[in-house]
Each structure stands twice: as structure tokens, then as C-alpha cells.
Amino acid sequence: MRRTFLLACWFGLQAAAAAEEKPKVPPLHHLVEVTVPETMKVDPALPLPADRKLVCRVCHGIEDIDKMEFDEVDKDDPKFLRGGPYRRLTDFCFRCHDRERHRRPNVHAMLDDNGEIIEENCRYCHRKVLKRDRRYRLDEIELRAPVDKLCWGCHLKTPHLNALVHQVKPSDKVKEQRKRFLAEHPEVLLPLTADGRVTCITCHTPHPPGVLDEKLPAARQAATAEVEEAPVYADSPWAATIAEDKRERLAELSRRLGRPLDYRYRQIQKEALLRLPAKDGQLCRACHVFDE
């Protein structure tokens, strides 16, 4: 009995030591200690060993990163990823992976050249292809993920400024105005999540014109651009004034963060996949009204 206990302790200690040797990586970290196939062209600036084994130092420039706890690693260090800092994480990925091969399809482009539905695209979000002329409730459309999280499969939670501040339960004033607007405009939908929060599809429609029967409120949208090109921005005579307006505050925020921040106003020219036009303020004013 005593011998078994001692053996168990020894194995336990060995396992703990082994676990300590292996660097802890966060979930969704790239595979480590795999052999990079010969077919993959690795950027020669990355120090891939002769045996082509993917170890920490191939991607990370921070010395002894493999001996650090994950929380201790300074992810803002330009050496965190070799050749950094990167504006987009994927810019680093494409030093080895082929950018073109990993380009995602635009599933919102749901019609083929003949105007027929590309059903494969429907199934990215819906479990089954639904009828295009029937009005469904949100709980009937068999989404693959909760409506407020589905878009994040491809889009950032924060794809544009003001996205994050909108993803909340609206104030009573806004709620009242939205209700009033929808009562006056039954041809429009501005859906909220089940618990009453604003989400991507409150303002955006995922379906371009022609996918749903145009008599349905879900089909109602502002589309002055093709799905593939929208949104289209153009330079604005206001850009210099707005840059001056923000200059000091942006510089202060950049100083605090220790990295440059970019903000350049460009005027929206064409829009798509919006439930109402935003350029002329219709979409905003569905919920936001002012006494004067």
C-alpha cells in the first residue's frame, strides 16, 4: 500500500515537471512542435530550424518566451511576433500561409449570376434553407449561433466605431422611440436580441436585395452599393477640419497607449446591407430623436 502511494507521488511529480517544461499556451494558439510541411513557403526571415519543427522562437522574438507564464508575456512588445507590431494579426499569419487561399467568401453575396440563391451561403448562418417569401419569427429561423454572436464568426465584434457602445440594452427613451417608429413604419424591422439588446442585425440586414420577397419587412433595406463593394467611402472636404478637431485628443490617447492611433474621416458615399439609409440619418433617427 505504502509502495503504491510512493509510486503515485513519483508519477505525479514527474507529470507536474513535464507540464512545467511544456509552455502553456492560450486556447486557439497556433499548433506548436509540429513539422512544417516542405510545401509551405515560410518567410526566410523567420528562424525555422533545419528539422522544420515549429517552436516558440520561430514566431516569437521575446527571449525565453517558452519559459514564461502566458500572463507574464508582454503582447504589446514589438518582438512578441517577429517583425511586429502588426496592425492585423493575420498580416503575421500570411508570412507563411497563402493569403489568397485563406480569403473568406462573402456569404452575403447570396445570388449567382442568374439571380438564383446560392444555398451554400444560406447554410453558413441557417441550419436549413428557409422560404424566401414567408415571414418568420427570430426563433424560427434556425440560426447556427445566437443572433448576437453569429456575426462574430466572420466579423469583429467591433468592426466600426460606435459598434460596441450600441451593443447594449437601449435606454427607456430610445426604447420608446424605437417602438413609436416601428408602429409608424410597419414595413421596417429593427430586431433586438431575445433579452432586448441592440446587436448587428438591429441596423444591418444580412440579405441583399432580391434574396427575400421585397414585401417582407426583413427585405427592406438601403442599398446604394453592391454587397461586394460596400461601404464605399470618399475623401471629404471636412477631413482636415475633423483631423484638427481630434489631433490633440488623439495624440494624448496615443501617448497613453504608447502607440500611434489612426483616425481619418472619410465620407460615406454608398451603403449596403442596412435596414434604413444611415447616410441621411434615417437609421439613426429611428431610435434617436431630440427635443430641439
Partner 1 sequence: MRGIVLVIVMLWYAIGGAAEKEKRWWEKREARKPDIYFPHNVHMPVMKQEGDVCMLCHSFQKTTETDPKVLEALSAIANEPLKAVCHDCHVVERRAPWRCDLCHPDKTKIWPADHDFDYVRHHGHAARRNEKACRECHLDLSYCTDCHFRRDVSGIGYHPLGYITLHGMEARTMPSNCGRCHNNFYCDRCHARRR
CA dihedral 13, 18, 22, 25 (to 10 degrees): -50
Q: How far apart are CA 128 and CA 146, in angstroms?
A: 15
Residue 1 within binding range of partner 1, rule CB under 8 A: no
Q: Which residues contact 121 (CB under 8 A, 6 or more apart)?
A: 105, 107, 108, 109, 110
- Report, in Å, the least distance between residue 136 CB and partner 1: 28
Nearer to partner 1, 199 or 212 (CB): 199
**Which three three-digit cell numbers place residue 248?**
490633440
Q: Is 108 exposed, middle or buried (0-12, 13-18, 19+ CB in 10 A)?
A: buried
Residue 280 contacts partner 1 per CB under 8 A: yes
**Minimum CB distance to partner 1 smaller for 197 or for 246:** 246
Among 28, 50, 161, 183, binds partner 1 (CB under 8 A): 161
Span near partner 1 by CB under 8 A; candidates 25-33, 36-44, 180-188, 263-271? 263-271
Subset of residues 91 to 150 that bind partner 1, contact rule: CB under 8 A:
none
- The three cell numbers of residue 286 are 429611428
3-class DSSP state of 145? coil
Instruction: Give the contact letters, 215-244, x = binds to partner 1 (CB under 8 A), - = no.
Output: ------------------x--x-x--xx-x
Residue 208: cis peptide before it, omega within 30 degrees of 0: no
**Length of the chain in residues, anyone?**
292
Residue 174 interacting with partner 1 (CB under 8 A) = no
Of the two residues 16 and 289, which places its CB atom closer to partner 1 in the complex? Answer: 289
Amino acid (1-letter code) at residue 147:
V
**With contacts defined by CB under 8 A, how many residues of the chain interact with partner 1?**
40
Binding of partner 1 by 165 (CB under 8 A): yes
Q: Which residues bind partner 1 (CB under 8 A)?
A: 87-88, 156-165, 233, 236, 238, 241-242, 244-246, 249-250, 253, 257, 261, 263-268, 278-281, 284-285, 288, 290, 292
